[in-house]
Amino acid sequence: EVQLVESGGGLIEPGESLRLSCAASGFPFNKAWMSWVRQAPGKGLEWVGRIISSNDGGRIDYGAPVKGRFTISRDDSKNTLYLQMNSLTTEDTAVYFCIWELPSPGNFEYWGQGTLVTVSS
Protein backbone atom coordinates (compact mmCIF):
# COMPACT_ATOMS: atom_id res chain seq x y z
CA GLU A 1 0.00 0.00 0.00
CA VAL A 2 1.32 3.42 -0.95
CA GLN A 3 1.83 5.70 2.04
CA LEU A 4 3.06 9.27 2.20
CA VAL A 5 3.35 10.69 5.69
CA GLU A 6 4.31 14.32 6.16
CA SER A 7 5.75 15.67 9.38
CA GLY A 8 7.49 18.75 10.71
CA GLY A 9 4.69 21.29 10.58
CA GLY A 10 3.85 23.63 13.41
CA LEU A 11 3.70 27.22 14.59
CA ILE A 12 6.64 29.38 13.65
CA GLU A 13 7.43 33.11 13.65
CA PRO A 14 7.96 35.18 10.52
CA GLY A 15 11.53 35.08 9.24
CA GLU A 16 12.30 31.70 10.74
CA SER A 17 12.98 28.37 9.02
CA LEU A 18 11.31 24.99 9.08
CA ARG A 19 11.96 21.63 7.43
CA LEU A 20 9.16 19.31 6.41
CA SER A 21 9.68 15.61 5.82
CA CYS A 22 7.63 13.13 3.84
CA ALA A 23 8.20 9.45 4.59
CA ALA A 24 7.29 7.28 1.61
CA SER A 25 6.54 3.58 1.51
CA GLY A 26 4.87 1.00 -0.70
CA PHE A 27 6.44 2.07 -3.98
CA PRO A 28 9.90 2.49 -5.59
CA PHE A 29 10.69 5.90 -4.13
CA ASN A 30 14.06 6.17 -5.89
CA LYS A 31 12.25 6.17 -9.25
CA ALA A 32 9.47 8.52 -8.22
CA TRP A 33 8.92 12.10 -9.29
CA MET A 34 7.72 13.94 -6.21
CA SER A 35 5.92 17.26 -5.73
CA TRP A 36 4.86 19.52 -2.90
CA VAL A 37 1.52 21.33 -3.10
CA ARG A 38 0.17 23.68 -0.45
CA GLN A 39 -3.23 25.02 0.48
CA ALA A 40 -3.73 28.13 2.59
CA PRO A 41 -6.69 27.98 5.00
CA GLY A 42 -9.93 28.27 3.03
CA LYS A 43 -8.06 28.78 -0.24
CA GLY A 44 -7.20 26.81 -3.36
CA LEU A 45 -4.27 24.61 -4.29
CA GLU A 46 -0.82 25.96 -5.11
CA TRP A 47 2.06 23.95 -6.53
CA VAL A 48 5.25 24.55 -4.52
CA GLY A 49 7.76 22.55 -6.51
CA ARG A 50 9.00 19.15 -7.54
CA ILE A 51 12.05 16.92 -7.71
CA ILE A 52 12.43 14.25 -10.34
CA SER A 53 14.23 10.97 -9.80
CA SER A 54 18.01 10.86 -9.78
CA ASN A 55 17.86 8.35 -12.62
CA ASP A 56 15.98 10.90 -14.71
CA GLY A 57 18.41 13.71 -13.90
CA GLY A 58 17.29 14.92 -10.49
CA ARG A 59 16.00 18.26 -11.78
CA ILE A 60 14.23 20.49 -9.26
CA ASP A 61 11.66 23.16 -10.15
CA TYR A 62 9.90 25.70 -7.94
CA GLY A 63 6.93 27.97 -8.07
CA ALA A 64 7.67 31.69 -8.15
CA PRO A 65 6.42 32.52 -4.61
CA VAL A 66 8.94 30.15 -3.01
CA LYS A 67 11.87 30.23 -5.41
CA GLY A 68 15.05 31.22 -3.58
CA ARG A 69 13.54 30.58 -0.15
CA PHE A 70 12.47 26.92 -0.29
CA THR A 71 14.63 23.91 -1.16
CA ILE A 72 13.36 20.48 -2.11
CA SER A 73 15.61 17.48 -1.61
CA ARG A 74 15.35 13.73 -1.27
CA ASP A 75 17.17 10.91 0.46
CA ASP A 76 16.49 7.77 -1.52
CA SER A 77 18.27 5.62 1.07
CA LYS A 78 15.67 6.73 3.63
CA ASN A 79 12.70 6.93 1.23
CA THR A 80 12.18 10.48 2.39
CA LEU A 81 11.36 13.77 0.68
CA TYR A 82 12.18 17.10 2.30
CA LEU A 83 11.07 20.69 2.01
CA GLN A 84 13.40 23.21 3.63
CA MET A 85 11.57 26.50 4.09
CA ASN A 86 13.52 29.67 4.94
CA SER A 87 12.53 33.30 5.47
CA LEU A 88 8.95 32.28 6.16
CA THR A 89 6.17 34.85 5.96
CA THR A 90 2.52 34.79 6.97
CA GLU A 91 1.73 34.10 3.28
CA ASP A 92 3.36 30.68 3.68
CA THR A 93 0.74 29.58 6.21
CA ALA A 94 -0.83 26.49 4.65
CA VAL A 95 -1.28 22.75 4.72
CA TYR A 96 1.62 21.23 2.81
CA PHE A 97 1.01 18.02 0.87
CA CYS A 98 3.60 15.59 -0.40
CA ILE A 99 2.68 13.91 -3.69
CA TRP A 100 3.88 11.04 -5.84
CA GLU A 101 3.38 12.08 -9.47
CA LEU A 102 1.42 9.37 -11.19
CA PRO A 103 0.23 8.08 -13.62
CA SER A 104 2.50 10.45 -15.52
CA PRO A 105 4.55 13.56 -14.69
CA GLY A 106 2.46 16.40 -13.41
CA ASN A 107 -0.46 14.21 -12.42
CA PHE A 108 -1.08 13.86 -8.70
CA GLU A 109 -2.55 10.49 -7.88
CA TYR A 110 -1.05 9.83 -4.45
CA TRP A 111 -1.19 12.49 -1.73
CA GLY A 112 -0.11 12.50 1.86
CA GLN A 113 -2.48 13.69 4.58
CA GLY A 114 -0.75 17.05 4.76
CA THR A 115 1.00 18.93 7.54
CA LEU A 116 -0.05 22.38 8.73
CA VAL A 117 2.49 25.19 8.85
CA THR A 118 1.35 28.34 10.64
CA VAL A 119 3.54 31.42 10.39
CA SER A 120 2.53 33.96 12.98
CA SER A 121 4.04 36.27 15.55
Partner 1 sequence: DIQMTQSPSSLSASVGDRVTITCRASQSISNYLSWYHQKAGKAPKLLIYAASTLQSGVPSRFSGSGSGTEFTLTISSLQPEDFATYYCQQNYSTPYTFGQGTKLEI
State yes or no: residue 114 binds partner 1 (CB under 8 A): yes
- Nearest CA among 9, 97, 101, 7 for reference residue 51: 101
Whose Cβ is closer to partner 1: residue 16's or residue 61's? 61
Site track 27-66 with partner 1 (rule: CB under 8 A), x = hit: --------x--------xxxx--x----------xxxx--
User: Which span (15-23, 73-81, 86-94, 105-113) binds partner 1, by CB under 8 A?
Assistant: 105-113
Contacts of 28 (CB under 8 A, 6+ apart): none
State yes or no: residue 105 binds partner 1 (CB under 8 A): yes
Torsion of CA 77, 78, 80, 81, to 10 degrees: -40
